């Protein structure tokens, strides 16, 4: 019997068809203009002198200035702390959910993904309200003990907010690795006399480590690239806010901003490549349909698990409660709880200034549509064609994972600002469409991945048998391929939608005018004044609801595999 | 190494309402190659895992060499197991995999190296010590798994369908090697499989299981040639079954009138032959010869029919012969002349080749 070496049914073989080749060329051109070129421009500005000669002088200056050295150090240090504290919460939770069977496990698994639903900068506001200098907790401490704890001051606040937002990434990766270890691997060791902690150290730990490290690296990138949290907490001495401030206050010709962007790209790219390496190491331990080690949990251990989970969840769900409360408050300032409740904030954002929500739905809807269309086309070419340039296409479509939002936004400003785009009659950066473009570019890796995964499930023989029965290429695609991958397409669109509707780091740089701003921008603007906080929170609640519904639908469509898209 | 004797007494294990094992009594002698044979879900793997200590029985007792081991954890049982998926640790090299158990036993470094090399040599794999399991072929992984288990010289070897992931040719080869290895080492072996050929080829004794129970226990020939139930007759090889009533006895022979109207002579020395008793007879396809109609000796059983299908298989030909309303399967080795579909033939088989079982279902 021949192994499945057969050429893919829709492959274009030796004879190159013009249509797929044209699609390939168009895709490459698009990705080049909107992903690669802006990034290269940013890097080039940081590496060129006035005469366009290669120079490292800007980097030298960067490292000579204490302000930037501090920003770099603070970014690395806070990223490390986020990973460390995040692991302390995530690893026990991952172990509990992957290895034990107990009542309420599903509930625990669901609740632990909720921190992802709240955008970190919204969470930051809520934490200010509860743990800030004049927040609920400190006011109570003041009343009772006459002292306060600076939870939210400086770097502490950033680390706190990011830890509680990002720990689910570590948890998901660790839990997946743990449940991918086939029980026989541990049983074999047991039958050879190895048990208890030795078993953990010699077999379990080495098998989980790659997945765990990959999760840590991903969290590290996200923490360093996060612009919204430090801005909201007004802590500026980190790389991302520094880049943002240089470009927005000093101007788009300020070289230092570009140097910071370049440093961010290097850090992100390095972490991403390392994460990929570790994940490919994790793959080898993955057994298809592994029979995981699952034990029942009772008695004292159950009580301990319950306490730990309740504590972790109570703290990480605090912002949800805070933002909800704030959205209904008329005034909540220097008081333990809001003094007066009202619906005014919702009236404001739904009727008086409804454009934030409308814009978000428009932009994210369009971006999700574009991203899925491009993603499907790219996945199709990667899997079913033998055309030249597939590796390049793959690399370009994956690149945005390693490009911080700030950097891509800076690149767009650099490339498109002051250049009348053909057919638009104005520069792209002066229209709202630039936001749709940046969202599409940034989420493309997710949709490509979702489409690729879906299409991979469709064995070429399914298409071949349709063609064998007389269906032409188009009919085959419509009647066989399309229905089979539609779940993947929908999931890809939902993931793009969910992650985009709370995007801030590129939004904040690219919004041309306030009335073009989406929800995330609205929240940022409202939060600048104490009086606007209520309305900002109401927008935050809308954002949370959008993300929650999107996430729920993703899980419905994708099942338990939804999390896999968030792995590199 | 001291090969152990295994005794299972009244073992029962229940998952919800389902008995994976029920009232199982088995005694496996030192050095025996004992096979648990049955369809998937019959409880054979559960029984193996009970012996290994990964599953605690709800009822009954497990003895290794007269020592009750119900509450002894797997790591203190000194029982070696080879898993169906081999369970090679992907993060360790072949050498480290095989050395794992020796390290657990605190064997000196020099001796570890020597014993690992010996174990790998014994399974015919010496050049792959530095490789990772994922770089090996299925057959090589299988050998490493075997070497890893045998190197610690366990008292019992448990094999859970170890050959099922190999392709047909390799399976036949590994079967032979496994047989030689086990006979050389002399270790008590319990082997789980659903493949009757494997069971017959390897075992000194076989227990056929179904629905958590042992249906029949015995040597390979006994199981194949004298199945005591329809389940065993049909699961171990193929069988033509006849249901009928005893009409006449005498001379170590009984005459049975089958329900579908044939008269069959069977040489049933040991059967308590009461006239009028219900009985089920079976004849293996290979015990049946085909002859042109009207030939052959009168002592044989002869049924006239028509060839419904003939399948040429090189060393033999399989026939399906329609006789009245039923069909009979025959396997003719070294075929002289071939019968074609539609040919009239006589199905001939000797009374000595007819087996019986009391069960009537």
pLDDT along chain A (568 residues), means of 10: 39 57 91 93 86 80 85 94 94 88 80 80 84 77 78 85 89 85 88 88 89 90 90 89 87 84 92 84 59 76 86 85 84 70 78 85 93 91 85 91 90 83 75 91 90 84 75 77 83 85 87 88 85 85 87 72 49
Partner residue facing B52 (CB), from A191, A198, A287: A191
Yes or no, beta carbons of A191 and B75 under 8 Å apart: yes
Grouping H, G, I as helix, E, B as strand and the rest as coil, residue B327 is: strand
pLDDT of B92 over the 90 cut: no
**pLDDT tens-digit profile of B324-344?**
888 999 999 876 778 889 888
CB A181 within 8 A of CB A208: yes
Which range has the worst mean pLDDT, A115-119, B173-177, B185-189, B283-287?
A115-119
Decide which of B188 and A278 is more confident: B188
* Alpha-carbon span A463 to A141, nearest angstrom: 68
How far B98 CA sits from the closest chain A CA (Å)?
A: 11
What are residue A132's DSSP bridge partners?
A: none
Predicted TM-score of the model (pTM): 0.77
**Chain B hits for A205, Cβ within 8 Å:** none
Partner residue facing A285 (CB), from B91, B100, B104: B91
Yes or no, beta carbons of B52 and A187 under 8 Å apart: yes
Yes or no, beta carbons of B83 and A287 under 8 Å apart: no
Structural tokens at position A378:
């790219």
For chain A, which residues lie within 8 Å of any Cβ of chain B, measuring from their own Cβ? Answer: 182, 184-185, 187-195, 198, 202-203, 206-207, 284-285, 287
How far A175 CA sits from the closest chain B CA (Å)?
A: 18
pLDDT at A9: 40
pLDDT at B145: 92
How far B167 CA sits from the closest chain A CA (Å)?
A: 12
pLDDT at A561: 53
| Mean pLDDT, chain B, integer | 89
* Alpha-carbon span A243 to A483, nearest angstrom: 45
Give the closest residue to A88 by CA, choosing from A155, A174, A27, A197. Answer: A174
Yes or no, beta carbons of B90 and A284 under 8 Å apart: yes
Partner residue facing B87 (CB), from A184, A194, A198: A184
Size of chain B in residues: 361
Yes or no, beta carbons of A182 and B75 under 8 Å apart: no
How far A244 CA sits from the closest chain B CA (Å)?
A: 44
How far B198 CA sits from the closest chain A CA (Å)?
A: 23
Yes or no, beta carbons of B83 and A192 under 8 Å apart: no
* Alpha-carbon span B220 to B157, nearest angstrom: 20
pLDDT at B11: 95
Whole-angstrom distance between the N-terminal and C-terminal Cα of chain B?
Answer: 48
Strand-by-strand arrangement of the B67-68 sheet: B18-28, B6-15, B59-64, B67-68
CB A79 within 8 A of CB A223: yes
What are residue B188's DSSP bridge partners?
A: B156
Yes or no, beta carbons of A206 and B91 under 8 Å apart: yes
Yes or no, beta carbons of A194 and B104 under 8 Å apart: yes
List C-alpha distances in Å: B168 to B87, B139, B153, B164, B165: 21, 11, 29, 9, 9
Partner residue facing A285 (CB), from B90, B100, B152: B90
Q: How confident is the model at residue B269 (pLDDT cuts 50, 70, 90)?
A: low
Yes or no, beta carbons of A206 and B80 under 8 Å apart: no
Q: Which residue has the tokens 């009461």?
A: B274
Whole-angstrom distance between the N-terminal and C-terminal Cα of chain A?
Answer: 36
Question: Residue B54: closest CA among chain A residues belongs to which residue?
Answer: A187
Percent of chain B scoring above 90 in pLDDT: 47
Surface-to-core class of residue B288, CB atoms within 10 Å of its CB (0-12 exposed, 13-18 middle, 19+ buried)? buried
* DSSP symbols for A529-551: SGGGHHHHHHHHHHHHHHHHHHH
List C-alpha distances in Å: B192 to A192, B44, B45, B73, B189: 20, 6, 7, 21, 10
Yes or no, beta carbons of B87 and A193 under 8 Å apart: no
Percent of chain B scoring above 70 in pLDDT: 96
* Alpha-carbon span A30 to A24, nearest angstrom: 10
* Alpha-carbon span B183 to A25, nearest angstrom: 66
For chain B, which residues lie within 8 Å of any Cβ of chain A, measuring from their own Cβ? Answer: 52-54, 73-77, 79-81, 83-85, 87, 89-92, 100-101, 104-105, 132, 134, 148, 152
How far A351 CA sits from the closest chain B CA (Å)?
A: 58
Beta-carbon pairs below 8 A across chains A and B: 68
List C-alpha distances in Å: A440 to A435, A486, B166: 8, 19, 47
Grouping H, G, I as helix, E, B as strand and the rest as coil, residue A134 is: coil
* DSSP symbols for A207-239: HHHHHHHHHHHHHHHHHHH--HHHHHTT---SH
Yes or no, beta carbons of B91 and A194 under 8 Å apart: no
pLDDT at B359: 61
Best B15, B72, B75 residue to mutate vs chain A (most A CBs within 10 Å): B75
pLDDT at A559: 60
* Alpha-carbon span B62 to A357, nearest angstrom: 69
Q: How confident is the model at residue B8 (pLDDT cuts 50, 70, 90)?
A: very high
CB A198 within 8 A of CB B101: no
């Amino acid at each position: 019997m021949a192994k499945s070496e057969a050429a893919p049914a829709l492959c274009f073989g030796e004879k190159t068809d013009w249509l797929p080749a044209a699609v390939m060329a168009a895709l490459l051109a698009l990705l080049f203009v909107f992903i690669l070129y802006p990034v290269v421009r940013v890097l080039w500005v940081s590496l060129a002198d006035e005469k366009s000669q290669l120079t490292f002088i800007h980097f030298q200056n960067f490292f000579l200035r204490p302000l930037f050295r501090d920003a770099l150090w603070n970014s690395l240090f806070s990223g490390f702390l986020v990973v460390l504290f995040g692991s302390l919460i995530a690893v026990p939770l991952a172990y509990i959910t992957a290895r034990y069977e107990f009542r309420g496990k599903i509930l625990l698994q669901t609740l632990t993904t909720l921190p992802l639903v709240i955008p970190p900068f919204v969470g930051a506001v809520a934490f200010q309200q509860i743990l800030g200098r004049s927040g609920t907790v400190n006011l109570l401490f003041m009343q009772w003990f006459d002292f306060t704890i600076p939870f939210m001051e400086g770097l502490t606040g950033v680390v706190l907010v990011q830890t509680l937002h990002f720990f689910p990434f570590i948890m998901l990766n660790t839990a997946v690795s743990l449940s991918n270890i086939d029980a026989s691997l541990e049983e074999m060791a047991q039958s050879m006399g190895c048990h208890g902690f030795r078993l953990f150290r010699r077999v379990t730990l080495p098998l989980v480590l790659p997945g765990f490290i990959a999760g840590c690296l991903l969290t590290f990138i996200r923490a360093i690239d996060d612009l919204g949290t430090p801005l909201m907490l007004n802590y500026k001495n980190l790389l991302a806010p520094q880049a943002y401030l240089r470009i927005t206050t000093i101007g788009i010709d300020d070289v230092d901003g570009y140097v910071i962007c370049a440093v961010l790209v290097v850090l992100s790219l390095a972490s991403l490549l390392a994460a990929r390496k570790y994940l490919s190491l994790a793959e080898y331990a993955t057994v298809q349909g592994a029979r995981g080690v699952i034990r029942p949990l009772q008695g004292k251990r159950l009580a301990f698990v319950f306490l730990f989970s309740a504590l972790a969840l109570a703290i990480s769900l605090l912002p949800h409660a805070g933002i909800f409360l704030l959205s209904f408050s008329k005034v909540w300032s220097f008081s333990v709880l809001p003094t007066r409740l009202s619906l005014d904030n919702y009236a404001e954002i739904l009727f008086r200034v409804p454009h934030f929500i409308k814009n978000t739905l428009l932009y994210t809807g369009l971006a999700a549509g574009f991203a899925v269309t491009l993603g499907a086309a790219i996945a199709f070419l990667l899997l079913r064609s033998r055309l030249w340039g597939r590796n390049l296409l793959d690399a370009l479509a994956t690149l945005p994972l390693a490009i911080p939002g700030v950097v891509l936004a800076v690149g767009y400003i650099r490339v498109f600002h002051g250049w009348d785009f053909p057919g638009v009659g104005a520069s792209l950066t002066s229209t709202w469409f630039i936001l749709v473009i940046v969202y599409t570019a940034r989420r493309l890796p997710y949709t490509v991945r979702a489409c690729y995964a879906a299409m991979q499930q469709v064995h070429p023989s399914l298409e071949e048998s349709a063609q064998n029965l007389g269906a032409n290429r188009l009919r085959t695609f419509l009647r066989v391929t399309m229905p089979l991958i539609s779940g993947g397409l929908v999931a890809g669109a939902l993931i793009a939608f969910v992650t985009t509707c709370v995007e801030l780091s590129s939004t904040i740089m690219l919004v041309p005018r306030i009335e073009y701003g989406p929800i995330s921008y609205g929240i940022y603007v409202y939060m600048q004044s104490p009086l606007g906080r209520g309305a900002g929170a109401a927008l935050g609640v809308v954002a949370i609801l959008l993300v929650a519904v999107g996430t729920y639908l993703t899980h419905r469509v994708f099942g338990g595999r939804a999390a896999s898209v968030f792995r590199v | 190494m001291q090969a152990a004797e295994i005794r299972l007494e009244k073992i029962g294990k229940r998952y919800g309402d389902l008995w994976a094992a029920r009232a199982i009594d088995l005694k496996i002698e030192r050095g025996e190659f004992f096979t648990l044979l049955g369809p998937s879900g019959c409880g054979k793997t559960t029984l193996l895992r009970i012996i290994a200590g990964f599953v605690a029985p709800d009822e009954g007792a497990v003895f290794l060499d007269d020592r009750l081991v119900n509450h002894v954890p797997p790591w203190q049982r000194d029982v070696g197991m080879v898993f169906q998926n081999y369970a090679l640790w992907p993060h360790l090299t072949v050498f480290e995999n095989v050395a794992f158990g020796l390290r657990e036993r605190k064997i000196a470094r020099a001796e570890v190296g020597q014993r690992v090399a010996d174990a790998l040599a014994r399974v015919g794999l010496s050049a792959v010590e530095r490789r990772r399991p994922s770089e090996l072929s299925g057959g090589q992984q299988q050998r490493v798994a075997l070497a890893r288990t045998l190197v610690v010289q366990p008292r019992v070897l448990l094999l859970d369908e170890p050959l099922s992931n190999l392709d047909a040719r390799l399976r036949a080869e590994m079967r032979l090697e496994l047989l030689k290895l086990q006979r050389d080492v002399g270790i008590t072996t319990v082997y789980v499989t659903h493949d009757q050929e494997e069971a017959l080829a390897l075992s000194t004794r076989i227990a056929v299981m179904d629905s958590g129970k042992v249906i029949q226990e015995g040597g390979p020939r006994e199981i194949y040639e004298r199945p005591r139930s329809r389940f065993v007759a049909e699961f171990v090889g193929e069988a033509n079954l006849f249901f009928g009533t005893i009409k006449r006895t005498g001379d170590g022979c009984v005459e049975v009138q089958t329900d579908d109207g044939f008269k069959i002579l069977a040489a049933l020395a040991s059967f308590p032959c009461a006239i009028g008793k219900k009985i089920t007879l079976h004849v293996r396809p290979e015990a049946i010869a085909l002859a042109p109609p009207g030939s052959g000796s009168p002592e044989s059983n002869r049924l006239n029919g028509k060839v419904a299908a003939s399948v040429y298989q090189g060393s033999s030909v399989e026939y399906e012969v329609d006789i009245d309303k039923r069909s009979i399967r025959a396997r003719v080795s070294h075929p002289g002349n071939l019968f074609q579909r539609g040919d009239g033939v006589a199905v001939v088989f000797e009374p000595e080749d007819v087996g019986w079982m009391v069960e009537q279902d």
